[in-house]
Amino acid sequence: MKSFSLRSVRLRPGEEYRDAIEVELQPFELGGQRYLAAPDRLPAEFAVSRASTGTVFELRFDARLHGPCYRCLAEAVLDVPISAREYQATNPGEAEELRTPYLEADRLDIATWARDAVALALPDKILCRPDCAGLCPVCGRDLNVEPHVHDDEAVDSRWSALEELRERL
């Protein structure tokens, strides 16, 4: 479901409309990497409640994203439970916090709201596992598969003058 028409439900204060819907998540581009929801169509719970001062929208679903790990670039799978809530005041005036950006002309943009809710729920770094060692900064090998250290670190010749100064002091 991409959008929901509020004209299809007529609620009085204190009433609620609930429905099981299907939301579609488009791929995410994060940090130059692409993350895909699998499946891209997800079952969701949608609710609209009418209060005396406005309307409350609720959306709940579980998303699973697939994409590269931030540290080692291996396949990472992330489960993201979503519980989002938006409020639209009957008379919001100029107050931005009393209106939802997803409602326009009595149509609630559920697809954009669901995508934004997933983006806000994502961790800072998507990892293949919590203890991911990443890639070796010297040779680029995956340290999870092949843990190693490099004995001889090559010193950049441009630093040789500072190295000589350090030895004299």
Domain ranges of the chain: 3-129, 133-169
Angle at 98 between CA 97 and CA 100, to 5 degrees: 85
CA distance 134 to 70: 8
Q: Measured between alpha carbons, how far apart are the two ends of the chain, in Å?
A: 71
Per-residue pLDDT of the chain (169 residues; tens, 9 = 90+): 588 888 888 888 888 999 999 999 989 888 888 999 999 899 999 999 998 899 999 999 999 999 999 999 999 999 999 999 999 988 877 777 888 999 988 899 999 999 999 999 999 899 999 999 999 988 899 999 999 888 766 677 888 888 888 888 8
